[in-house]
Amino acid sequence: VRVVADLEALSRAAAAEFTRRARAAIARRGRFTVALAGGSTPARLYALLADPCRPWRARIRWDRVECFFTDERDVPARHPDSNVRTARRALLDRVPIPRSRIHPVRFEGRAPAAPGTGGGARTGSAARRARRAALRYARVLRTAFDLPPDGMPRFDLVLLGLGADGHVASIFPRRGARRSPGGLVAAVPAPGPGIPGGAHARVTLTLPVLDAAAAVIVLVSGASKAGALSSALGRRRSDRPATLLRPSRGRLIWIVDRAAAGRRRPR
Ligand code: 6PG
């Protein structure tokens, strides 16, 4: 657990860790596989990685980076709630990463967008569309990682944020997608109000995929996350998915700011 002063310091620490791991993976195997987090916390990290005036951009061979997403909402790619939109605007459109190495989650068969809605969807078809998108994304992973039928992708790095309710990616308390047997990617119904982008069904990497990573970095900023962070780092078992993160052969790194850490001492 690394406690830093604020979101800017958190983003710089994460940029340094991202760069170190990217360089090591590319030196060792010629590529760096990363699953980008959704939500708003990582946006500053993405901007720092893309900024030519900062030390990190030039140190990464972007043509060797293979980029995936921990989860995505069922919205058009230009919708403000789209995770790929956040990543493209802050990072992916600003670094020389080949388009073929960016793997967004694709929701097909979207209902025609009503004027000004950015693309709505009928409820029944939303669940079916999310299931199809999850199956499709699992195939993308199997191909990109050259997996056998029951194989598990091992990302060099998974980036996560933390929801105030303890969710990570789109794995919510008391929902599926946590230990989907053999499932790499799960469809999740719209989590509802109170969750950012809660109006949309989602697709998410499952907990076994997160746990298989060589490194998981969870970025936690703000007092609203203090309860979920304390629970995740505490001894008490709970149904909050963040408390279940257990990379079996990898590093779990929490980079948190003081507002989220509460009384936890800097380390
Ligand atoms: C999503 C994210 C989600 C996010 C947390 C924290 O698509 O909603 O993957 O898990 O990381 O909700 O969101 P903020 O960083 O915006 O607080």
- Residues above pLDDT 70, as percent of the chain: 88
Contact status, residue 212 vs residue 143, Cβ threshold 8 Å: no
pLDDT at 237: 67
pLDDT at 112: 46
* Residue 49 scores a pLDDT above 50: yes
What average pLDDT is seen over the chain? 90
Contact status, residue 155 vs residue 91, Cβ threshold 8 Å: no
pLDDT at 110: 54
pLDDT at 174: 76
> Ligand 1 centroid vs 27 CA: distance in angstroms?
31
Rounded Cα distance, 95 and 75, in Å: 24
The tokens for 93 are 């459109």
| pLDDT grade for 265, boundaries at 50, 70 and 90 | low
* Residue 263 scores a pLDDT above 70: yes
Residue 156 to residues 33, 40, 106, 134, Cα–Cα distance (Å): 5, 22, 23, 21
DSSP three-state, residue 108: coil
Contact status, residue 260 vs residue 221, Cβ threshold 8 Å: yes
Q: Is 83 in the pocket of ligand 1 (CB under 6 A)?
A: yes
Q: Is 84 in the pocket of ligand 1 (CB under 6 A)?
A: no
* Residue 41 scores a pLDDT above 50: yes
Rounded Cα distance, 141 and 207, in Å: 15
| Across 72-81, 84-93, 173-182, least confident range | 173-182
Q: Is 67 in the pocket of ligand 1 (CB under 6 A)?
A: no
> Ligand 1 centroid vs 209 CA: distance in angstroms?
18
> Ligand 1, from 36, 46, 70: best to mutate by most atoms within 8 Å of Cβ?
70
Q: In what order do the strands lie in the sheet with 215-220?
A: 2-4, 251-257, 215-220, 157-161, 32-36, 65-69
Helix, strand, coil percentages, rounded to 5, for the chain: 35, 15, 45
The residue written with tokens 């998410």 in the block is 204
pLDDT at 177: 52
pLDDT at 234: 86
pLDDT at 196: 86
* Residue 116 scores a pLDDT above 70: no
Q: What is the pLDDT of residues 127-180, one digit of tens each?
A: 899 999 999 999 999 999 999 989 999 999 999 999 999 999 999 987 655 545
> Ligand 1 centroid vs 162 CA: distance in angstroms?
6
Contact status, residue 207 vs residue 183, Cβ threshold 8 Å: no
> Ligand 1 centroid vs 132 CA: distance in angstroms?
22
What angle is formed at CA 159 by the lines to CA 237 and CA 154, rounded to 5 degrees? 85
Q: Is 187 in the pocket of ligand 1 (CB under 6 A)?
A: no
Top pLDDT among 178 and 108 is at 108
Contacts of 143 (CB under 8 A, 6+ apart): none
Rounded Cα distance, 35 and 159, in Å: 6
pLDDT at 173: 86
